[in-house]
Structure 1
C-alpha cells in the first residue's frame, strides 16, 4: 500500500521537552537544554500556535508568573498534587503534572516573535490554498488531496491542534485508499499523544484497528501494534501493553512514535510488572531483543541477538518463586550506556536521533527480581524510578503505582516459597528494617493482595495457602450447584400435568 504518509509531524520529542521543562523531577541543566530545544524548534518550524499555547502571558500552559498570569504554581512548595484522572478529565500537554508547571526555567513570551511566526504561517497557508484552487480548476482529485494533505501537515507541524484535527477529518472523508486512511488516523493518534488527549487517542486507536482489520498491510499492522501498546501504557493498562510492546521490539519501524531505546524501556517495564514468572523469563529476561541491549558486552553480540542468531535461552520450567543463581542466559547489567544507532550504522544523523541511555538500572531490576537477589532489588527499583519513571512523560503519572506493584511482586515471590518466614529474615533479605517492612506489608495484607498474616509477638509471617483438596472440593460443590439449577429449570419446562398426559 505504499510508504507511510503524514508521519513527520507532530514531533513527539518536543512534547517530552515541554514535560522536562515543566516537571519538578528534572534538573536545571536538563530544563535549560529542553528550553533551548523547544525555542529552536518553534523558530525553525514557525510554530506560532504552539508558542501561544505554551507561553502566552495569560493562557500559556508554561506560564507561571507572566504578565497577568497566576504565580500560584511557582509559590507553592513541593511537587504538585497529582490526581489519577487529571490528565483524562482535562487534556493538556502537561496534563500528567496536574496541569501545573513548576520549576525555575520559563519559556519567555515575545510578542514580536509571535507576530512574525504568525505571518509566516499565513503565507504558507495562502500558498497551499492557491495550490488547492488551481488543482480544483485544472487538475484531478489526487492533486486536490495532495494540497489538503499539505494543509493538514502544516497545522500539525505548527501545533494547531483543532485546525489539524479538522483538516485530517476532512482529508479522511475524501480519501478512498485504505492505507492512506490508516496513516491519517495514526497521525491523529500522535496529535492526541502530543497534547495528552487520552480520549482522542482511545477513539482513534479503535478507529485504526477497525481499518487495519479490514485489510491493512503488514507494516501498518505492526505500526499500529506499537501505537496501541503505548496508548495502553499511558492509561496504566500494563498487562495489555506488555505483549504488544514486546512483540514490537523485533518489528519496530514507528520511529515517529518514539526512539527504539524508549520502546525497550516501555516493554521491559510493562513486562516486569504484569507478566507471570514463566512468561517474564521467556519474553523479558531471555528475549533476544532485550538481551541485545541489556545483557551483552559487545556491539557484535548485540547485533547477533537483534538478528535472532542468539537463542533466547531456555524458558523457565518452574512456577515456584525460588532463588536462582544468575546465569549467562539471563539479562545482566554488564553494559552501562548503549547508543542503539551504533549497532550496524555509522550515520551521524542516525546517531543524533537516538539518545544515549544508561540501561544498567533496568538490567539490575529484572535480574534482581528474577534471580531473587532481593538485597539489590530496592536500590535497582529506586534507580529506575529516578532515571526512567520520573523523567518520561508517559511513565511519570503512574510511577507511584508502578513502584508499589513491583514491591508487591517481590514480596509475593519471596513469600510463595515459605509457609512461615521470620520478619527479621525477610527484612534482612530486602535490606530494610523490621518496622518499615511491617508497615509496607500491612496495606497489601489488608487489601487481601498478599495471602498471609503477621504475628509480631512471634516475629513471623505466616502464608495462607488454599490446599488442592479444598480447591477441588469447592469446585465440585460449585459445579454441582450449577448442575442442579439447570436440571430444575429443565424439569419445569418438560414437566406435564396429569390432565395434559391424557
Structure 2
C-alpha cells in the first residue's frame, strides 16, 4: 500500500509545550524551556494561525481575555467539528473538556501566566506574508498539475496544501482540505493516512469528539484491508485516545500490545508510550496480568532502567533490560519468574518513521524511578513505599502530561483503592492501626479515605472504630450469581418491553 504519508504535521510536541507553558503544575524553569521551544516552532514552521490562536490580545487562549472565549482561532469556528453527525457523547467517558475543545482545555480555564507568550504584531504580519507566498506556490503547482499532469500529481499538490494548513496550525482549513483529499482518494492506504492525520489534528487541539469519530472511521478502513504497519499505528492511536477519555481498561491492552511493534513516533516518543501503557495497566489489569504484562514486561523494564542513549537503543531494539536500574536485582523481581519474550526489533519495523537509532537519541531524558517503584511496590505489597511513589508519579508524570492531567485525581484515587483492596482481600479482620502503619498514614486519615469506597460498595468491608478493626465481608458465590441473574434478567425484560413498543408502533403505522 506504499509508505505512510502525512506523518510530519501537526507536531504534537508543540501542543505539550503549550500545555507546559499554561499549566500551574509546571515550574518556571520548565515554562521557560517550553516557551523557547514553542517560539522556535512557530517561527520555523511559519505558524501564523496558531500564534494568533494562542497569543492574540483579544482571543488568545494563553491570555486571560481569551480563556473564556468561544472562538477557536481567528479563522476557526465550531462549525467544522462535524456536529451534524450523531453525537458520540454517550460513548465517551466523563471528561470536563469534551464540550470545549481547546489546546489548553484540560486545564479547565486555570491557566498560569507566570511566563507568557508575547504578542508581536510585526512577527505575525511576517508569518502571514510567508504563509501567503507558500500557498501561492502550492496553488501554482496544482494548476500546473491540472494542465500538464495526471490525477496522481494533482492529488499530491492537494495533499501538500492540506499538510501546509496542518503545519501552520489552522485547524478548520486543515480539516477541510483533508476531507476533500479523502473524497478524491481511492487508495486504501492513503485514506488511512489521511484519517490518522485528522486524528492527530484532533489530539493537537484536544477535540475528543473529532478524535472519536475518526478513530472509528480509521478502524473501519483498516478492517476493510489495511496493511500490517497501519494496523499497528492505529492500535497506538486508539490506546492514546482511550487514555484521554479515562477508559484505561480498554486502553491498556492496546498500549501494551503496541510496545513491541511501535512505529508511531509522530504520535509520541517510545518512552512516553511505555509510560502510558504502564499507567493504564497498573490501574486496570488483574494482578496476574499486571505481573506478566507490566511488572515483568521486558519493554517496561528496559526503558525504566535506561540511563544512556545506548540503553535506550537496546530498549528499542528488544533488550529485556538495560541500564543501572535493571541491575538492581532486576527491579527486585524474583529471578525464578518465567522469562518473557523480548520485544520485536524496531530497527526493522520503523517503516515510514525515524530509524531506531534516531528514536533512541530523541527520547527525552526522564527519571522513571517513581513509576518503577510504584508498580514494584504495589505488586510486592510495600504499601508505604507505594504511597510515596504514587505521590511522586502524580507530581512528575500525571500533572505534567497534557493527556494525563485531566484525570490525575481520579487515577490517584483508583490506585489507592487498588492497594486497599489488595491488602484487605487477604484478611477477614485487619487492625485499623496496623493497616494505617502499613500505608504510612494516620488512623484518622485512613478512616476518612476508606469511608467513600465502603459507602459506594467498592470495598466489601466495615470499620469498627470502637474495636479499632476493619472487617471484610465476602458474599458467597451462589448469592453473587443469583444477584447477577436477577439484574441481567431485569435488563433483558426492559429491552424486550422497549422492543415490543417499537413493533406495536410500526404495526399501527402500517394499518
Q: Could you tell me the TM-score, scaled by structure 1's length?
A: 0.83
The match for 1:8 is 8
**2:435 and 2:212 mapped to 1: Cα distance?**
43
Q: Does 1:148 align with 2:155?
A: no
Offset of 1:289 from its aligned partner? 1.1
Q: Choose which of 239, 254, 258 in structure 2 pairs with 1:229.
A: 239
The match for 2:282 is 272
Q: Does 1:357 align with 2:366?
A: yes
Residues 235-314 of structure 1 correspond to what in structure 2 (within 5 A)?
235-294=245-304, 310=320
Q: Choose which of 426, 445, 449 in structure 2 pairs with 1:440.
A: 449
Alpha-carbon distance change, 437 to 330 in structure 1, aligned in 2, over 3 angstroms: farther
**1:381 and 1:60 mapped to 2: Cα distance?**
35
8 Å Cα contact 1:291-1:302 kept in structure 2: no
The match for 1:424 is 433
8 Å Cα contact 2:312-2:360 kept in structure 1: no
Alpha-carbon distance change, 393 to 297 in structure 1, aligned in 2, over 3 angstroms: closer
Offset of 1:454 from its aligned partner? 0.3
8 Å Cα contact 2:94-2:245 kept in structure 1: no
Q: Which is worse superposed, 281-290 or 430-439?
A: 281-290
8 Å Cα contact 1:18-1:94 kept in structure 2: yes
Q: Does 1:379 align with 2:388?
A: yes
**1:301 and 1:351 mapped to 2: Cα distance?**
8
Q: How many residues align?
A: 443
Q: Gaps spanning 5+ residues in structure 1: where?
A: 70-82, 312-324, 332-339, 483-502
8 Å Cα contact 1:46-1:158 kept in structure 2: yes
**1:350 and 1:279 mapped to 2: Cα distance?**
29
**2:486 and 2:148 mapped to 1: Cα distance?**
78
**2:488 and 2:221 mapped to 1: Cα distance?**
42
Q: Which is worse superposed, 294-303 or 253-262?
A: 294-303
8 Å Cα contact 1:94-1:100 kept in structure 2: no
Alpha-carbon distance change, 472 to 14 in structure 1, aligned in 2, over 3 angstroms: closer
8 Å Cα contact 2:62-2:113 kept in structure 1: no
For 1:442-498, what per-residue CA distance to the aligned partner results, in whole angstroms no more than 9, with x for missing partners? Answer: 00000000000000000000000112454567689999999xxxxxxxxxxxxxxxx
Higher relative contact order (CA 8 A, sep 6+): 2
Q: Could you tell me the TM-score, scaled by structure 2's length?
A: 0.81
Partner of 1:462: helix, strand, or coil? Answer: strand
Q: Does 1:62 align with 2:62?
A: yes
Residues 21-420 of structure 1 correspond to what in structure 2 (within 5 A)?
21-64=21-64, 85-294=95-304, 310=320, 326-328=333-335, 350=359, 353-420=362-429
8 Å Cα contact 1:92-1:99 kept in structure 2: no
**2:218 and 2:419 mapped to 1: Cα distance?**
37
**2:379 and 2:114 mapped to 1: Cα distance?**
41
8 Å Cα contact 1:61-1:99 kept in structure 2: no
8 Å Cα contact 1:48-1:118 kept in structure 2: yes
Alpha-carbon distance change, 9 to 466 in structure 1, aligned in 2, over 3 angstroms: same
Alpha-carbon distance change, 330 to 15 in structure 1, aligned in 2, over 3 angstroms: farther
Alpha-carbon distance change, 380 to 477 in structure 1, aligned in 2, over 3 angstroms: closer
Q: Gaps spanning 5+ residues in structure 2: where?
A: 70-92, 322-331, 339-345, 348-353, 492-511
8 Å Cα contact 2:299-2:319 kept in structure 1: no
Alpha-carbon distance change, 232 to 455 in structure 1, aligned in 2, over 3 angstroms: same
Partner of 1:421: helix, strand, or coil? Answer: strand
Q: Which is worse superposed, 282-291 or 441-450?
A: 282-291
**1:21 and 1:232 mapped to 2: Cα distance?**
25
For 1:201-227, what per-residue CA distance to the aligned partner results, in whole angstroms no more than 9, with x for missing partners? Answer: 000000000000000000000000000
**2:283 and 2:489 mapped to 1: Cα distance?**
37
Alpha-carbon distance change, 470 to 147 in structure 1, aligned in 2, over 3 angstroms: closer
* Pair member with larger Rg: 1
Partner of 2:134: helix, strand, or coil? Answer: helix
